[in-house]
Amino acid sequence: MSQRRGTGVLVLPVGDRDHIQGPADAPATLVEYGDFECPNCRQAHPIVKRIQRRMGPRLRFAFRNFPLTELHPHAQHAAEVAEAAGAQGKFWEMHDRLFQRQFALDDEHLITYAEELGLDSGRVARELAARTYKGRVRDDFMSGVRSGVNGTPTFFINGARHDQAWDEEGLAAALERAVAVKT
């Protein structure tokens, strides 16, 4: 886990620009700032999936890119490929694939994953080469910085940074408390 400082409040509310799973009116919203090459984010990925299943329609989940490029040389391109997949309606499929195959995130593998997911891989390759989604990834990153994110994964629950453990029971309990407050 990482050290965190800053506002502790999500400065950019979840909205149309985000990749979201779950209903807009869910009483709990979980936002993750993550890096596809971060081993802690890979560890958090199945935890979030299990919590999503557990909470069902009571949880809305949004993922935002926070590539730590000095530590993870493939994180930026992985985030851009996820956004390219999102432009073709398959952000979440690529999100999951990148965490499953975190050991191979070079550009060649990223294009292979696009092919495997049935995307227009030529388009993905062109967009990656042109850095089409660089600005989009940077916007996510900067919203995180302004919210006090300086490591990954960083979670926010209903707009407040979750500074406790993000193991399954700890994160689920915090989300259940958020639901209780809303209902």
d(CA 6, CA 149): 7
Task: Count structural domains, the chain.
Answer: 1
Q: Is residue 78 included in any domain, yes or no?
A: yes
Q: Is residue 45 included in any domain, yes or no?
A: yes
Q: Is residue 12 included in any domain, yes or no?
A: no
- Residue 182 confidence (pLDDT) above 90: no
**For the residues 18-38, what does the mean pLDDT come to?**
97
CB-based contact 75:37 (threshold 8 Å): yes
Residue 156 has a pLDDT of 98
Residue type for position 174: A
CATH of the domain at 78: 3.40.30.10
CA-only gyration radius of the chain, Å:
16
Q: Is residue 14 included in any domain, yes or no?
A: no
Full residue range of the structural domain in which residue 167 is found: 19-182
Q: Is residue 95 included in any domain, yes or no?
A: yes
CB-based contact 34:63 (threshold 8 Å): yes
Q: Is residue 13 included in any domain, yes or no?
A: no
- Residue 1 confidence (pLDDT) above 70: no
d(CA 78, CA 84): 10
Q: Is residue 67 included in any domain, yes or no?
A: yes
Q: Is residue 8 included in any domain, yes or no?
A: no
- Residue 5 confidence (pLDDT) above 90: no
